[in-house]
Structure 1
Amino acid sequence: MILPSASPVSWLLALAAALAYAAPAAAASRLGAAASRNALLAAWVLHGALLVWGLWGEAPRFGFAPALSMTAWLVLTVYAVERQLFPQMRARWMLAALGAATIVLALLFPGQPLHVAASAWLPLHLALGIACYGLFAAAVVHAWLMTRAERHIRQAEDPDSGIPLLTLERLTFRFVTAGFVLLSATLLAGWLFSDMLYGRAWRWDHKAVFSFLSWLVFAALLLGRARFGWRGRNAVRILYAGSALLMLAYVGSRFVLEVILGRST
């Protein structure tokens, strides 16, 4: 834990964003729709400003917690866009809680200094990886909403998702497909340009192994859906399994290095 590395600006932005997220998360039933939406928008803006400041306003740092924070912000960005298409979509409290938790986590574990002098392409490679995380995280959120809506329908209750079940399913697999394309590009770039990006040859470390295993799981999921019509609970379980493997690839390995072992490499 490297708390002194956080600047006063980072602390102020992080606390303001976390508090703004906490309002719709803790008082979802008491806040009106407009107030909850405005609080979430303010938190999203503050969260984005915090990420920008962390990368360009001071010495850039990166690690498992900032990766989770960026992923949460991307998921909230997807939610903001979808709210324009599906105004009745209901996931504010869950996403607000996710945003607040990742901000606090990134404040406590800001990661290690990001040395970009070796390669100007390293930030692009990291951006591809984070975008991949964001797309799969959005797929997981939609899969959760789909599972909840399906359960309510089976129990003859109001689905309470705000989006038709079949639409949720289509959106889930669109995010999986887009995430799979970015994951493929990220793995291919790491394999072909490892010397340029990291100053060493490609090696099968924990990150590479878990990333490739997740790629295989997502490939099987997309192939199974296209050829055999996989859907419903079985498809969602495979999505969760692939996402868990992908989470272990970078976030898991960096967590072990930074928190448990106290090392940067």
Structure 2
Amino acid sequence: MILPSASPASWLLALAAAAAYAVSAAASSRLSATAARNALLLAWVLHAAVLVWGLWGDTPRFGFAPALSMTAWLVLTMYAVERQLFPQLQARWILAMLGAAAIMLSLLFPGQPLHVAASAWLPLHLALGIACYGLFAAAVVHAWLMTRAERHIRQAADPQNGIPLLTLERLTFRFVTAGFVLLTATLLAGWLFGEMLYGHAGRWDHKAIFSLLSWITFAALLLGRSRFGWRGRNAVRMLYAGAGLLLLAYVGSRFVMEVVLGRST
């Protein structure tokens, strides 16, 4: 969520979106399938309106919480698309809870204003990074669903999501592959065009180090799966590790700068 200011309208819109997510999560078991879908759709639309609202401001902001808010919205968008292909996919309640938490977090920490002299290409670079976050977050959600389905199979119980385990595995690694491509493009753009984007050449800071470690982890995971057939718990642990490193790369470093140190740069 990019909030230009803490205006009453932006607060009301964000609170309405968070409330819609909360209702969708809390009442999902008591609502009919159509009502639950409509409640989540309303929350998704309000969340999108919050994001668009921020883009019209004179002083747009960005930071760790807005990045998480956009990531949550992208994951919900991908979930909505997947539900059309796999109606038995069941992750509505947890995604709704994550959406509500992300919106409230971005209200509390709206980020720092983007510099007026920032490059016109900076929004594209940030969009690549956020899309990368969204794809890996979707991979993490699918890995969690895959682990849950595997546990149900071991316990001789029917998986609640109803999606075959191999299908979940394929979906997980498709998201990992797509996220890895965007992560590679984002890192290359940052290093090759850092001076044009940020006013300085690429440098070895915490964000660069954690991003590179994440890239190495995902590269090893995809190579291991391709060459040695890695799968199951070990592959999922590597996915979680890579996602955690990537989370630390931007969200973690910005959290320390904005909240712990109270600095914008």
TM-score by length of 2: 0.97
Amino acid at match of 1:64: F
- List aligned pairs for 1:34-45, cutoff 5 A: 34-45=34-45
Q: 1:223 corresponds to which residue?
A: 223
Matching residue's letter, 2:157: E
3-state SS of paired residue (1:150): helix
Alpha-carbon distance between aligned partners in 2 of 1:235 and 1:29, rounded to the nearest angstrom: 32
In 2, the alpha carbon distance for the partners of 1:148 and 1:129 equals: 29
1:21: which partner in 2?
A: 21
- Looking at structure 2, the residues matched to 95 and 4 of structure 1 have their Cα atoms a distance apart, in angstroms, of 26
Q: CA deviation at 1:236?
A: 0.2
Could you tell me how far apart the structure 1 residues matched to 2:224 and 2:21 are?
38
Identity value in percent: 85
Q: Greater CA deviation, 111-120 or 121-130?
A: 111-120
- Cα shift readout 1:200-242 (whole Å, capped 9, x = no counterpart): 1110000000000000000000000000000011100000000
Identify the residue that residue 5 of structure 2 maps to in structure 1: 5
Q: Which runs of 5+ in 1 are unaligned?
A: none
Measured in 1, the distance between the counterparts of 2:167 and 2:58 equals: 42
**Alpha-carbon distance in 2 for matches of 1:115, 1:7:** 20
Separation (CA, whole Å) in 1 of partners of 2:109 and 2:32: 34
Unmatched runs of 5 consecutive residues or more in structure 2: none
Kindly provide the CA deviation profile for residues 58-88 of structure 1, in whole angstroms up to 9, marking residues without a partner as x. Answer: 5210000000000000000000000100111
Cα deviation digits, residues 142-180 of structure 1 (max 9, x gap): 000000000000000011123211110000000000000
2:263 aligned residue: 263
Distance 2:156 2:236 in 1: 22
Alignment of 1:53-64 (within 5 A): 53-64=53-64
Question: What does residue range 1-265 of structure 1 map to in structure 2 within 5 Å?
Answer: 5-265=5-265
CA contact (8 A) 1:225 1:231 kept: yes
Report if aligned partners of 1:64, 1:111 keep a CA contact under 8 Å in 2.
yes
Task: Give the match's secondary structure for 2:201.
Answer: coil
CA deviation string 1:19-76 (max 9, x = no partner): 1100121122212211111000000000011011112245210000000000000000
- For residue 117 of structure 1, report the CA deviation from its aligned partner: 2.9
Secondary structure of 1:115 counterpart? coil
Moved more, 50-59 or 148-157: 50-59
Paired residue type of 1:49:
A
Output the CA distance in 2 between the equivalents of 1:225 and 1:81. Answer: 26
Report the TM-score, using the length of structure 1 for normalisation. 0.97
**C-alpha contact 2:210 2:246 (8 A) present in aligned 1:** yes
SS in 1 for 2:175: helix
Equivalences, count: 263
Question: Displacement, 1:4?
Answer: 10
Q: Which runs of 4+ in 1 moved over 3 A?
A: none
In terms of mean alpha carbon deviation, does 112-121 or 139-148 score higher?
112-121
User: Which amino acid is the alignment partner of residue 75 of structure 1?
Assistant: V
* Contact kept? 1:18, 1:43, Cα under 8 Å: yes
